């Protein structure tokens, strides 16, 4: 099919794609512990049905001890390449329901955006693949392997085993990962690097048991003050991460105007930015360290007692070129070395994931540039980094060294993935569907 036919075909399939996206987001498939995993099963079944519906002859639900993934395959026409299309069907928990303007699992359209948990991250990714496949019907010019995993938001623990187990079924020439975003509305992007991640807990203990804060306060350090002092050592006065030994790289030459950035982040008027260097460098090419939570007595219930033990959850985003094990060691060394007042500091790992660099010099990348520019009516895509993580991209790259990886997606700066009121920009979604169809045509 040529570009004109594909445009018409995408227009034709879009209403059905939208309806199926709404059906998918009504299934609250959350892989986190403590959530109803039968919903993840339902969501895998729904994805399998969609893949059967586009005529893939070989669709299976697979697992390796974790949540179900779906693999659908269709062999390549003679001489054509095979393209692996990746997305994930699990979503983040909805969080605080009172912050949502509408039910997170009941899609609602407002001002051209579809609001629901997973509408953007990453059920839009699944439906982008489905849209492209539907547009071609049985004239698909390439072989495809669709791989939709079910525990990306929970760290993809069993993914590596799964990839190894199904290696032969997943073999492909090009891997298209639809789980990222564009630079702005109207400005497409190809993602050329992602940060990795190290999540860890640090526990500080100063006392064997809680004691009266009047009797002992003044001479005995409480664990919460001690933990706070320890956390305060993690950044220097500029707000750069102070942990020694983390990699710092350089980022794409994109300008992220400070006022745009502040507005998109929702930063309060007089709050300063932290860190140094260009904004995109801080986001994509330098480490970031955040405190995600603290276990300590809550203020409403805290007695007049010295807290014996307190624990924080830390999250380090590590730059492309770093690796999570050495970053974790650097973090542990820092925390142990800076233990205030001789407190007992215990660090435990929650999860680690590698950063990645995505090449920009292969034929698939060129085909993607052309397809995205056409879908956005002549606006060429920019190369951008992402501060978030998709750790298994590194695993794909290692397991399938011959395949060219492309990272794309339909999130935009206002998608609010992981937060309340997540949404998908429907106009950009339509362009993303067309771009993927054009890309498959180009690769064919
Ligand atoms: N879709 C995101 C990755 C992403 C983040 C793309 C920001 C574009 C902008 C992905 O689903 C995600 O959130 N990944 C997790 C990985 C973690 C669980 C290992 C993340 O970055 O927190
Ligand atoms: Mn995602």
**Ligand 1 mutation pick, 121, 160, 327, 356, max ligand atoms within 8 A of CB:** 121
**Percentage of the chain lying above the pLDDT 90 cut:** 98
pLDDT grade for 239, boundaries at 50, 70 and 90: very high
Measure 152 CA to ligand 1 centroid, in angstroms: 8
Output 96-102 pairs: Cβ under 8 A, ≥24 positions apart: 96/420, 99/420, 99/421, 100/420, 100/421, 101/421
CB of residue 411 inside a 6 A radius of ligand 1: yes
Domain boundaries, the chain: 3-194+355-443, 196-249+286-353
| Smallest-distance ligand from the CA of 86 | 2
pLDDT grade for 314, boundaries at 50, 70 and 90: very high
Which residues are known catalytic residues? 90, 152
**Ligand 1 mutation pick, 67, 150, 153, max ligand atoms within 8 A of CB:** 153
Nearest atom in ligand 1 to 317's CA: 21
Q: Is the pLDDT of residue 48 over 90?
A: yes
Alpha carbon dihedral 193, 265, 325, 311, in 10-degree steps, equals -170
Of the candidates 241, 349, 231, 354, the residue with the CA atom closest to the CA atom of residue 287: 241
Q: Using one digit for the tens of pLDDT, what is the confidence trace for 120-147?
A: 999 999 999 999 999 999 999 999 999 9
CB of residue 354 inside a 6 A radius of ligand 1: no
| Smallest-distance ligand from the CA of 292 | 1
CB of residue 388 inside a 6 A radius of ligand 1: yes
User: Does an H or E element contain 6, and which?
Assistant: helix 3-25
Measure 386 CA to ligand 1 centroid, in angstroms: 9
DSSP 311: E
pLDDT grade for 421, boundaries at 50, 70 and 90: very high
Calpha distance 61→45 (Å, rounded): 8
Measure 389 CA to ligand 1 centroid, in angstroms: 5
- Average of per-residue pLDDT across 180-195: 97
pLDDT grade for 10, boundaries at 50, 70 and 90: very high
CB of residue 356 inside a 6 A radius of ligand 1: no
Q: Using one digit for the tens of pLDDT, what is the confidence trace for 369-413?
A: 999 999 999 999 999 999 999 998 999 999 999 999 999 999 999
What is the CATH topology of the domain spanning 3-194+355-443? Answer: Aminopeptidase (3.40.630)
Q: Which architecture, in CATH terms, is 196-249+286-353?
A: 2-Layer Sandwich (3.30)
pLDDT of residue 209: 98
Q: Whose CA is nearest to atom 17 of ligand 1?
A: 155
Measure 152 CA to ligand 2 centroid, in angstroms: 7
Calpha distance 285→276 (Å, rounded): 12
Concatenate the DSSP letters of all residues of 92-115 into one string. Answer: -----GGG-SS-TTS-EEETTEEE
Measure 420 CA to ligand 2 centroid, in angstroms: 15
Q: Is the pLDDT of residue 56 over 90?
A: yes
Q: Using one digit for the tens of pLDDT, what is the confidence trace for 62-95?
A: 999 999 999 999 999 999 999 999 999 999 999 9
Q: Using one digit for the tens of pLDDT, what is the confidence trace for 251-306?
A: 988 999 999 999 999 999 999 999 999 999 999 999 999 999 999 999 999 999 99
pLDDT of residue 252: 87
Cβ-contact 355, 195 below 8 angstroms: yes
Q: Whose CA is nearest to atom 20 of ligand 1?
A: 389
CB of residue 125 inside a 6 A radius of ligand 1: no
Cβ-contact 193, 320 below 8 angstroms: yes
Nearest atom in ligand 1 to 199's CA: 19
Measure 367 CA to ligand 2 centroid, in angstroms: 24
CB of residue 179 inside a 6 A radius of ligand 1: yes
Of the candidates 379, 443, 439, the residue with the CA atom closest to the CA atom of residue 182: 379
CB of residue 152 inside a 6 A radius of ligand 1: yes
CB of residue 182 inside a 6 A radius of ligand 1: no
| Smallest-distance ligand from the CA of 393 | 1
CB of residue 386 inside a 6 A radius of ligand 1: yes
Cβ-contact 346, 203 below 8 angstroms: yes
pLDDT of residue 7: 98
Beta strands in 288-370 (DSSP E): 288-295, 305-306, 309-318, 344-353, 356-357
| Smallest-distance ligand from the CA of 392 | 1
Calpha distance 367→358 (Å, rounded): 15
Across the chain, mean pLDDT equals 97
Measure 279 CA to ligand 1 centroid, in angstroms: 19
CB of residue 66 inside a 6 A radius of ligand 1: no
| Smallest-distance ligand from the CA of 159 | 1
Q: Is the pLDDT of residue 151 over 90?
A: yes
Nearest atom in ligand 1 to 351's CA: 19
Calpha distance 384→181 (Å, rounded): 9
User: Does an H or E element contain 128, and which?
Assistant: helix 123-136
Three-point CA angle 340, 341, 344, nearest 5°: 75
Q: Whose CA is nearest to atom 5 of ligand 1?
A: 388
Nearest atom in ligand 1 to 389's CA: 21
User: pTM, whole model, 2 decimals?
Assistant: 0.94
């Amino acid at each position: 099919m040529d570009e004109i036919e594909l445009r018409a075909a995408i227009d034709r399939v879009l209403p059905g794609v939208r309806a199926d996206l709404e059906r998918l987001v009504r299934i609250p498939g959350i892989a986190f512990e403590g959530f109803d995993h039968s919903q993840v099963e339902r969501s895998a079944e729904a994805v399998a049905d969609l893949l059967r519906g586009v005529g893939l002859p070989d669709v299976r639900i697979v697992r390796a001890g974790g949540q179900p993934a779906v693999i659908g395959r269709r062999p390549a026409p003679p001489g054509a390449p095979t393209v692996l299309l990746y997305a994930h069907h699990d979503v983040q928990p909805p969080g605080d329901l009172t912050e949502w303007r509408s039910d997170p699992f009941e899609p609602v359209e407002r001002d051209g955006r579809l609001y629901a948990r997973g509408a953007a991250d990453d059920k839009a990714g699944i439906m982008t693949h489905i849209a492209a496949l539907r547009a071609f019907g049985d004239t698909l010019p390439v072989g495809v392997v669709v791989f939709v995993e079910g525990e990306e938001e929970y760290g993809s623990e069993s993914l590596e085993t799964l990839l190894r187990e199904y290696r032969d079924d997943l073999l492909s020439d090009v891997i298209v990962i639809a789980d990222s975003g564009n630079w702005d509305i109207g400005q497409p992007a190809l993602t050329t690097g992602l940060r990795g991640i190290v999540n860890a807990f640090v526990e500080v203990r100063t006392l064997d048991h809680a004691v009266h804060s009047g009797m002992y306060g003044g001479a005995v350090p409480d664990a919460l003050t001690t933990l706070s002092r320890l956390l305060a050592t993690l950044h220097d006065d500029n707000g750069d991460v102070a942990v020694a030994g983390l990699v710092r790289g350089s980022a794409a030459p994109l300008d992220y105007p400070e006022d745009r950035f502040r507005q998109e982040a929702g930063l309060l008027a007089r709050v300063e930015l932290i860190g140094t260097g260009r904004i995109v460098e801080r986001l994509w090419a330098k480490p970031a360290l955040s405190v995600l939570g603290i276990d300590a007595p809550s203020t409403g219930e805290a007695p007049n007692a010295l807290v014996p033990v307190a624990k924080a959850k830390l999250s380090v985003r590590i730059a492309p070129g770093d690796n999570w094990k050495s970053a974790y060691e650097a973090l542990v060394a820092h925390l142990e070395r800076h233990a205030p007042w001789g407190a007992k500091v215990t660090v435990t790992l929650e999860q680690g994931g590698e950063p990645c660099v995505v090449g920009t010099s292969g034929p698939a990348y060129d085909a993607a540039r052309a397809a995205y520019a056409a879908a956005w009516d002549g606006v060429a895509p920019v190369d951008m980094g992402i501060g978030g993580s998709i750790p298994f991209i590194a695993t794909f790259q290692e397991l399938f060294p011959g395949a060219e990886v492309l990272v794309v997606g339909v999130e935009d700066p206002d998608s609010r993935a992981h937060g309340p009121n997540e949404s998908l920009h429907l106009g950009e979604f339509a362009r993303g569907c067309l771009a993927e169809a054009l890309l498959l045509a180009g690769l064919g």
